[in-house]
Amino acid sequence: MDIPRIFNITESAHRIHNPFTPEKLATLGAVLRLEPGTRVLDLGSGSGEMLCTWARDYGITGVGIDMSQLFTEQAKRRAEELGVADRVGFIHGDAAGYVADEKCGVAACIGATWIGGGVAGTIGLLRKSLRANGIILIGEPYWRQLPPTEEVAKECLADSISDFLMLPELLASFDELGYDVVEMVLADQEGWDRYEAAKWFTMRRWLEANPEDDFAKEIRAQLTTAPKRHAVYTREYLGWGVFALMAR
């Protein structure tokens, strides 16, 4: 079981697989006013940076589930490196339908809401693991500017304009599901650069190391086009944020 190989190649050197910088991730942890010992569930935990740094900085405990074998191994190594392996654990597996044995104070899905079939489905899934008055965290893109055409949306890592909402509509959608938005931390263009541009260097290094690989043509094509595409499309049209929700 694994995710498509392209991500395991292009994001192999990322610690954070979304447009948050380490500073934004720390801000999110701080604004949530986490009590030491708070249990955090993270579906699609990637390389574990959120759980590991929050365990170090805020004393949380938790578990992350991710379908990438590589990212899960990196998460376990990161926990060892930060000295928090006794507090956070990482499971390699499909998080679809995953419900924690023990109720959590925070249940998160950061940049992987397809796991629950979209934002509403993922909130429903996370809620099953949440204790009363717990916090759900959803990391999700939104349109900074509405793409003028479907072609433009496709250049922005989306399948169609309808994949994402504008920020006010996204916030309204949480309200309609019966949740208070109690906090939010938004990424900025610098964060998008960190997420996207880091892939370019990784792709270049990968091509040098794997010139004969079946995937080399695909990676070469992506590396050639990605910087311009990022500057014209993703960087201008796409926003991203983490929203902290509490059921009313």
Q: Does 197 bind ligand SAH (CB under 6 A)?
A: no
Hey, which residues between 198 and 237 contact ligand SAH (CB under 6 A)? none
For 61, the token pair is 């405990």
Measured from the CB atom, is 49 or 196 closer to ligand SAH? 49
d(CA 127, CA 15) in angstroms, rounded, equals: 27
Q: Which of 36, 244, 53, 28 is nearest to 130 (CA)?
A: 244
Q: How many residues bind ligand SAH (CB under 6 A)?
A: 20
d(CA 61, CA 39) in angstroms, rounded, equals: 5
The kind and range of the H/E element at 236 are: helix 235-237
Hey, which residues between 47 and 106 contact ligand SAH (CB under 6 A)? 49, 65-68, 71, 94-96
d(CA 70, CA 9) in angstroms, rounded, equals: 10
- As measured in angstroms, the least distance from the Cβ of 71 to ligand SAH is 5
Q: Does 123 bind ligand SAH (CB under 6 A)?
A: no
8 A C-beta contact, residue 130 and residue 122:
no
Q: Which of these segments, 39-47, 99-107, 188-196, 207-215, binds ligand SAH (CB under 6 A)? A: 39-47
Give the CA diameter of the chain: 56
Q: Which of 38, 45, 53, 61 binds ligand SAH (CB under 6 A)?
A: 45
Q: Which of 18, 53, 61, 113 binds ligand SAH (CB under 6 A)?
A: 18
- Point out which residues bind ligand SAH (CB under 6 A): 3, 16-18, 44-46, 49, 65-68, 71, 94-96, 110-112, 115
